[in-house]
Amino acid sequence: MSDALLTYEEAASLVARHARALAPLAAVRIPLAEAAGRVLAEPILADTDQPPFPRSTRDGYACRAAEANARAALSLAGATRAGDPPPPPLDPGSCRQIMTGAPVPEGADAVAMLEHVEQIGKAKTSAIRLAPPRTLDPGENIVPRAAQARAGDTLLAPGVRIGPAHIALAAACGYAQLSVYLRPRVAILTTGDELVSVDATPGPGHIRNSNAPMLAALVAAAGGDPLVLPTAADSAEALDAALAAALDAAHPADLLLISGGVSAGTHDLVEPALARRGAQFHFTGIRIQPGKPLVFGTLPPSGKNENRATPFFGLPGNPISTAATFRLFAATILQALAGVAQPSPRFVAARLAGKAKSKPGLTRFLPAVCNFAGPAAPLPTVELVPWHGSGDLSAFALANCFLVVPPPDEALHDGDLVRILPL
C-alpha cells in the first residue's frame, strides 16, 4: 500500500473543501405540501409575533400569582377559549377561566391549572382558590407575546433539508409555497463486461448489474435526481462513447458517478478514459477498506455544461465498496450541489457488542447492525454482520449502518465506544 495515498480524514476534508466551493443549482417555487426532502432556498421569516398574544399553555384559570399564592378567593370573571378574541383586562381579586392556546387577559401573570384549584361554595362557577400546597410562579403556564419570534425574524436559513418541523413552521408563517433548490442530476455509469441487466439471466461468468439500481436509490435518498446510463463495456472505445454521451447530452449531469474499472486491473480503463476528457484528479485511491480504489476529480466544462465543471467519482465496483464510498464522499458533493448548508456524512456514537478487527493504516467501514431501540443503555449497541467481503450483498442487506474501525493496530473490543454511519 502506498503511503502517498490520503487517509480517510484527509480525503474527507479534501472533499468537504471542494463541496464548499460548489454553488447550488437554481431555485424553484413549489407547493409547501411537496417540499419535504427538498432543500430550502429562501429564508423563512416570521410574519407576525409568535405567539401573537400571551398564550396559555394549560386549561385553567388566568390570575395574579401573588393573589393565588395568598389563597385569596378569586371570583370568576368569564371564560376564554382558543380562537376567542383577547379578553378584557382582569380586575384585581378575580380570575378568568382559560383554555390551552387562548389569549391571557392583561393583568393576569399566571395560569393556575384546572387540577390545582378548588371551587369555593356550592355555585360551581362563582369563585376558586389555589389548592394548598400548590403555589404559582409569575409567568407560569403563559408563553409571553413574541417569546418564540418577533415579526420579521429569520426563523430558518436557506440550506436546510426540509423536514416535518420545517413544514409546520413554514405553514405557521403563511408560506403556501417554498423556494427550493433544483435537485442535482446525477449520471450513473456502470462499467464491466460481466454485467447483465436485472431482467436478464446471467450467462457463465456474468452477474446482474446491482450497482445501477442501488446507486439510483442512494442518489434519490441523498436528494439527487438519478439518471442511469447504459452500461459500458470494458473497452476504451465504449468508455469514451459513454463519457461523451453523459457530458455532451442536451441536459448534462451535475455530478457523474462511474462504478467499476478503477482498481488498477488490466481492464480498469476508467481513469485513462477520464484523462482523455481532460479530467483533473483530486485523488486516486485512499486508505480505507472497503473502497480503497476510489477516484475523485473534476471534468472541465464541455458541451451544454459550458460554464460548469463536472465533479465525478470513480467508485469501486464491489457493491459494498460502491455504497460505502458513495455515502462517505459522493453524497457530500451531491448535497453541496443540492444547496445543503453543511454537507457531510452524519456519524453517530454507539457501543460495540463483540469485536472488530482493525487493519494497520486503513480506516474500515464494516456492515453492522445497530440496535437503535436498545433498552435503558445510554448508547445504542452495534454488532458486525458476518460477511464474505465487499461483494456480499446478502450480508449488506442485513446491515443498517457502517461501523467505523480506525486504523491504529489495536482491534476494537466489546463495550468500546465506536462511531457508526447509519444507512
Point out which residues bind Mg ion (CB under 5 A): 192, 260-261, 317
Q: In whole angstroms, how close is the CB of 265 to ligand AMP at the nearest point?
A: 6
Residue 161 · residue 39 · CB < 8 Å? yes
Which residue, 244, 299, 234, is CA-closest to 269? 234
Binding mask 384-403 for ligand AMP (x = CB under 6 A): -------x------------
Burial degree of 115 (CB within 10 A; 0-12, 13-18, 19+): exposed
Residue 223: contacted member of ligand AMP, Mg ion, none (CB under 5 to 8 Å, by partner type): none
| Cα-based distances in Å from 379 to 59, 242, 415 | 37, 47, 11
Residue 174: contacted member of ligand AMP, Mg ion, none (CB under 5 to 8 Å, by partner type): none
Q: Which is nearer to ligand AMP, 19 or 229 (CB)?
A: 229
Q: In whole angstroms, how close is the CB of 289 to ligand AMP at the nearest point?
A: 14
Residue 209: contacted member of ligand AMP, Mg ion, none (CB under 5 to 8 Å, by partner type): ligand AMP
DSSP letter, residue 100: T
**Cα 28 to Cα 299: distance, rounded to the nearest angstrom:** 27
Task: Give the footprint of ligand AMP on residues 234-263 (CB under 6 A).
Answer: 259-263
Intra-chain end-to-end CA distance of the chain, in Å? 29
Which residue, 317, 339, 318, 314, is CA-closest to 256? 314
Q: In whole angstroms, how close is the CB of 266 to ligand AMP at the nearest point?
A: 10
Q: Say whether residue 291 binds ligand AMP (CB under 6 A).
A: no
In terms of DSSP bridges, do strands 255-259 and 310-315 run parallel, antiparallel, or are they unpaired?
parallel
Q: In whole angstroms, how close is the CB of 318 to ligand AMP at the nearest point?
A: 4
Binding mask 211-230 for ligand AMP (x = CB under 6 A): xx------------------
Rounding to the nearest 10 degrees, give the CA dihedral for residues 47, 180, 347, 209: 160
Binding mask 147-186 for ligand AMP (x = CB under 6 A): ----------------------------------------
- Cα angle 405, 410, 412; round to 5: 50
Residue 323 · residue 218 · CB < 8 Å? yes
Candidate list 209, 289, 305, 335; residue touching ligand AMP; CB under 6 A: 209
Q: Say whether residue 194 binds ligand AMP (CB under 6 A).
A: yes
Partners of 142 in beta bridges = 56
Residue 259: contacted member of Mg ion, ligand AMP, none (CB under 5 to 8 Å, by partner type): ligand AMP
**Cα 422 to Cα 399: distance, rounded to the nearest angstrom:** 9
Q: Say whether residue 210 binds ligand AMP (CB under 6 A).
A: yes
Residue 195: contacted member of ligand AMP, Mg ion, none (CB under 5 to 8 Å, by partner type): ligand AMP
Amino acid at 415: G
Q: Which residues bind ligand AMP (CB under 6 A)?
A: 190, 192, 194-195, 207, 209-212, 259-263, 265, 316-319, 391
